[in-house]
Structure 1
Amino acid sequence: MGVVGGLQYIVYLVFLLVIFGLAVWALVDAAVRPAGAFVSAGKRTKNFWLAILVAATVLSFLTCPPLYLLPIFLALLSAVAAIVYLVDVRPAVAPYTRRRGPRGPSGPSRGGW
């Protein structure tokens, strides 16, 4: 393997690992959101998104080196699923997710006079 081949392998490896990380991030985020938040936001159910993101995570894992069990276009489909969740569903569901810590007038001051 020459210098160019080695560089291509590194770029390919980083690309696939980023896709895998993106899928894992989306899966963990969907798992911690309450099921009612998805319905309140007008999105598909939590179970639907968990199934899609589990499949995306598994597919992206199986395309990573040294496995190479599946073609790269399946990793690209995994990236699409994770990106759709992170860009569309996650922001819509976020306002309906309970946040931890004090809120309202009794909560800690965030500045001001």
Structure 2
Amino acid sequence: MIGQAQSWLFLILAFVLFAVEVFALVEALRHSKDSYVSAGKRTKTFWASIVGAATLIGFLGLPFSGVSLQVLGILSIVGFVAAAVFLADVRPALRAVGGKGRSRDRNQGPYGGW
């Protein structure tokens, strides 16, 4: 019974990690290459490649993907860390310079703050 619960927990965790990686990939592809330069980060190609590889590894790490190597478990963690670095560091900088989504000064209206 405990083994079954652990299996379900790892399956849910694998899907959550994969979902975060897919979200990071969409965010990496959504911004223009000029936004990356303006934010002072590496190029769009660099980050899209890193997060794309992380997403591929996350997909291969899913339990039903047919690849059941022990190494993919560790690589899945590395892929998630790469996606998390993008989401925690690069994405806020891109949103600040790109104007997409909410910026830091979201209480600023057309005539200033409240």
- Give the structure-1-normalised TM-score: 0.83
Could you list the runs of 4 or more consecutive aligned residues of structure 1 that deviate by over 6 angstroms after TM superposition? none
Aligned partner (choices 19, 32, 35) of residue 34 of structure 1: 32
Question: SS at the partner of 2:63?
Answer: coil
Give % identity. Answer: 40
1:78 aligns with 2:79: yes
Q: Which amino acid aligns with 1:97?
A: G
1:18 aligns with 2:16: yes
Q: Structure 2: how far apart are the matches of 1:40 and 1:21?
A: 28
Q: Structure 2: how far apart are the matches of 1:67 and 1:31?
A: 25
The C-alpha deviation readout for 1:44-77, integer Å capped at 9, x for no partner, is 0001000001100000000101125242001101
The C-alpha deviation readout for 1:63-95, integer Å capped at 9, x for no partner, is 101125242001101110110000000001111
Q: Structure 1: how far apart are the matches of 2:10 and 2:110?
A: 51
Tell me if structure 2 keeps the 8 A contact 1:19–1:78.
Answer: no
Q: CA RMSD in A?
A: 2.0
Q: Structure 1: how far apart are the matches of 2:66 and 2:80?
A: 16
Rg bigger for which structure? Answer: 1
Q: Structure 2: how far apart are the matches of 1:99 and 1:81?
A: 22
Residue of structure 1 equivalent to 2:99 = 98
Structure 1 unaligned runs (5+)? Answer: 107-111
Q: Structure 1: how far apart are the matches of 2:100 and 2:7?
A: 42
